[in-house]
Amino acid sequence: MRKPSTMMLCLCTVILPSSCVQTHSQTAVPYGANPTAGHYLRVEGVNIYYETYGSGGTPIVLLHGGLYGYIEEFGGLIGELSKDRRVIAIATRGHGKSEIGEKPFSYALSASDAFAVIRHETSKKVDVLGFSDGAITSYTLASGHPELIRRLVAIGGPRKFADWTPSVQAEFKNAKPSDVERDSPQFVSARKKLMPQPDRWLEFVNRVNTMELGPVYVTDAQIQSIKVPALIVAGDHDPYNQTAKVVELFHLLPQGELAIIPGCGHVVLDCKEKFTITAVEAFLNAQQK
């Protein structure tokens, strides 16, 4: 999921321009590059980076968005949740400090990496919160490992490429991997400094683009197989989640809840952070014994 060049809004995409990426820059915590919280796990020959914060309660796993997405986009959320929970924030392959590896990117691969990190960190059930590409990964994880998850929050996660608005689909199909560095040079420069293999940047972008073209990210049968309580969150102007499609997904869930965030595009945690965090915490704590 990428930011269309004609939509210069800091709340409409997982691919955040540099001004959006810096939303939490005033905090003293260097989320995504924090040596006191960072860890690596070797998964099938690839180093997967993740950070842990807090302790107690049901552990919660955070799965960030695609391409421009990274651990730092959850800065405000980590600060709140880590007050009484253990937070495990995972960097997807190729993003930030995680290695790219050699396998084609897929949501199943991301879910497999996440499962390995989770089981390395805890034998307990966990709550999972995913944003955008991370939300799609969370569907895949919950469907494939029903024993793993207690409660699920999916923010801005479509089921398929056709869930995007037609205009955004068209722009995405016409985009080139080199467009990202052209449009956001400061962001790319900063991200390359984190990457173990910065020379593979264009390859990384191409892998993400190929994955996001789909055409199907997760099947209806997979969504229907998610038996745990699941909260679906989306902005009412999200170009990657037409509202009617979000409602369709919600109705497929056996134990679904739906929160449409008014006046927001894709990045609801930037658009209405406190509003969204309040809704998420209320859901997560509803059945927490």
Average pLDDT over residues 190-216: 97
Q: Which of 113, 120, 116, 161 is nearest to 137 (CA)?
A: 113
The model's pLDDT over 75-90, given as tens digits with 9 standing for 90+, comes to 999 999 999 999 999 9
Query: Edge to edge, what strands does the sheet with 256-261 contain?
Result: 38-43, 46-53, 87-90, 60-63, 126-131, 149-155, 230-235, 256-261
What crossing angle do the helices spanning 107-121 and 133-144 adopt, rounded to 10°? 70
The model's pLDDT over 92-121, given as tens digits with 9 standing for 90+, comes to 999 999 999 999 999 999 999 999 999 999
Average pLDDT over residues 232-240: 97
User: For residues 275 and 188, what is the distance between their CA atoms, to the nearest angstrom?
Assistant: 30
User: Domains (ranges, CATH) in the chain?
Assistant: 18-285 (3.40.50.1820)
The model's pLDDT over 245-261, given as tens digits with 9 standing for 90+, comes to 999 999 999 999 999 99
Q: Return the pLDDT at 45.
A: 96
Q: Return the pLDDT at 28.
A: 85
Q: Return the pLDDT at 287.
A: 63
What value does the CA radius of gyration of the chain take, rounded to a whole number of Å? 17
User: For residues 182 and 185, what is the distance between their CA atoms, to the nearest angstrom?
Assistant: 6
The model's pLDDT over 21-30, given as tens digits with 9 standing for 90+, comes to 333 434 489 9
Average pLDDT over residues 13-25: 36
Q: Return the pLDDT at 12.
A: 32
* Residue 2 pLDDT level (bands cut at 50, 70, 90): low
Cα dihedral 118, 190, 193, 75, rounded to 10, equals: -30
The model's pLDDT over 113-163, given as tens digits with 9 standing for 90+, comes to 999 999 999 999 999 999 999 999 999 999 999 999 999 999 999 999 999
The model's pLDDT over 49-75, given as tens digits with 9 standing for 90+, comes to 999 999 999 999 999 999 999 999 999
Average pLDDT over residues 217-245: 97
Single pTM value for the model: 0.91
Average pLDDT over residues 161-175: 96
User: For residues 82 and 51, what is the distance between their CA atoms, to the nearest angstrom?
Assistant: 12
Q: Return the pLDDT at 164.
A: 97
